[in-house]
Amino acid sequence: MAVSAKGKQLDGSVSAHAAYGEEVRAWREKKGWSQYALAHRARVSESMIGKIEAAQRYSDLGLAEKLDELLQAGGTLVRGWRRADRERRRWELERALAQAARQDEYAEGHERTKSPSPDGSEEADMKRRDALGLGAWLGIGAVGDVLAGPAGRAKSFLRWAETSDLGPMTLSSFESELWVLAERATVMPSAEQLAIAERQFTEIAVLLHRGHLHTAEKKELEVLAGKYAYVKGRLWGFRLGDYSAATTNLLIAQHYGMRHSEHTLISSAAATESAMAFRHGDYPKSLEVAQKGRKYTTVHTAARLSATEARALGALGKRTEMRHTFARAHRELRDDPSREAGATPPFFPETLVSFEATGTVMARDDSGEQLARETISRYQSLEGSRADKQNLSLVELDLGRGIVQRPQPDPDEAASMCLRAINVDEPERSDLVRRTAHEVLQLLSPWAERDSVQAFADALRCYRPVAVGS
């Protein structure tokens, strides 16, 4: 039975797929949860929940079971999913049978146009070639499948359609890996994260290149490609130090974000590009990218983009604008910052204060040192995934910068603070920290003969981020 875009069959009844989506919506609303709240708990994207409810996307059984458990539906959603899955399989079989029937008509018509061979051998060869051509057209490798009659061809075509088309479990697998990367971003070694992201991105690229996809599936895959590209760009730019690779991957993320109006992806890429420019000392570009990115801001990225913009303003010496923009970032800060797969990390209060500390230190504002010390204390008290060692090291380096830029600098205290910043285990080292440390070491060059500065310089020479593949 065919189905319309709104989930109704041609006889006017509601499809099982649409009914399942309505059940998910009803149970979610009964809980008083938004689509975002349910998606966060189920570790899928908000758009996936929306598409399931609108009958625009199939889910796998695992997700149906998870939704049933979260919404306390008592098995109702699992039963609804099973009905929708049986319906989907029936439609696929009907499509396959119809396709096979068309191929029968094509083969019969083609057979009538052939001239008989005198000895039969040439005719047999032609039949084999025709069978191979038809098999290639159908995507079937074995000639025997093509010659097995309508039923055999239908079964072969159905197997081909199910294996070559993108299934809901494949999409869920890609999204699950994104969630693993999001949740373990601060504890998993960077090289391991990159290996996962690269592998998933490559698999998606292969599926897109084959082109055997429905429009909705292609869109889902392109968005996933953009998200994995974003993850790779952030790792290359902030952890591993290949800025050409970082820029290329961020461009891919922006491309697919723009194509499919994925504002969180676009603004995440803008925030990362702006931060990279800032740490390279290109403060005008950092400011420009952050301000352009605000056009696509979402609740997940708003505070980070504002803080990124304010930090660049501070580096450019625009103190008043910096304070106003940091105030906006505080207003935009979410009460419950949460992770989103394939997007910039959650922006916690301590992260905002660290940006504020950096901006005020760069602006040579008197409050910069105090803010930096408060931020260090906050980070040192954190545990688990929020205990971001890279952010802590960067704030300690910024504090060292502030100390050495005082009207009466204290190079020994600054060098001691910077030495502490780079004294981390090898898996926690990053190229971003290394570059920032070299900047502060340059500021300490007038006191290069001091023991504290020499100790910092010696430690920095041994500070190397983990190489990919090591």
Rounded distance between C-alpha atoms, residue 325 and residue 360, angstroms: 12
* pLDDT on residue 415: 94
CATH, domain range 171-409:
1.25.40.10
Name the maximum alpha-carbon separation found in the chain. Answer: 105
CB atoms within 10 A of CB 377: 10
* pLDDT on residue 326: 96
* pLDDT on residue 90: 74
**Long-range Cβ pairs for the range 142-151 (8 Å, 24+):** 150/100, 150/101, 150/104
* pLDDT on residue 322: 96
Rounded distance between C-alpha atoms, residue 229 and residue 298, angstroms: 19
pLDDT tens, the chain, 470 aa long: 333 334 444 344 578 889 999 999 999 999 999 988 898 888 777 878 888 999 887 777 888 888 999 999 999 998 998 888 888 777 766 666 666 666 555 555 555 554 454 444 555 555 444 444 444 444 444 444 444 455 555 555 555 454 445 555 577 788 888 888 888 887 788 888 999 999 999 999 988 887 777 777 888 899 999 999 999 999 988 878 788 899 999 999 999 999 999 999 999 999 999 999 998 889 999 999 999 999 999 999 999 999 999 999 999 999 999 999 999 999 999 888 888 889 998 898 888 988 999 999 889 888 888 888 988 888 888 766 566 788 888 889 989 988 998 889 999 999 999 999 999 888 788 888 988 899 999 999 999 999 999 999 999 999 987 665 44
208 by Cβ neighbours in 10 Å (0-12 / 13-18 / 19+) ranks as middle
Whether the model clears a pTM of 0.85, i.e. scores above it, the answer is: no
- 1-89 against 171-409: fold identical: no
Contact 31, 42 (CB under 8 A): no
Helix axes 35-42, 46-53, angle to 10 degrees: 110
CB atoms within 10 A of CB 59: 27
* pLDDT on residue 167: 59
Rounded distance between C-alpha atoms, residue 150 and residue 19, angstroms: 33
* pLDDT on residue 122: 54
Contact 236, 258 (CB under 8 A): no
* pLDDT on residue 133: 44
**Any alpha helices (H) in 113-214, and if so which ranges?**
121-138, 143-146, 149-164, 168-183, 190-210
Q: How far is CA 177 from the centre of its chain?
A: 9
Torsions phi, psi for 58 (to 5 deg): -85, 145
* pLDDT on residue 7: 46
CATH, domain range 1-89:
1.10.260.40
- Per-position DSSP letters for 398-443, written without gaps between them: HHHHHHHTSSS--HHHHHHHHHHHH-S-GGG--HHHHHHHHHHHHH
**Which residues, including other chains, have CB under 8 Å from residue 451's CB and lie 6 or more apart?**
none
Where along the chain do its domains lie?
A: 1-89, 171-409, 410-470
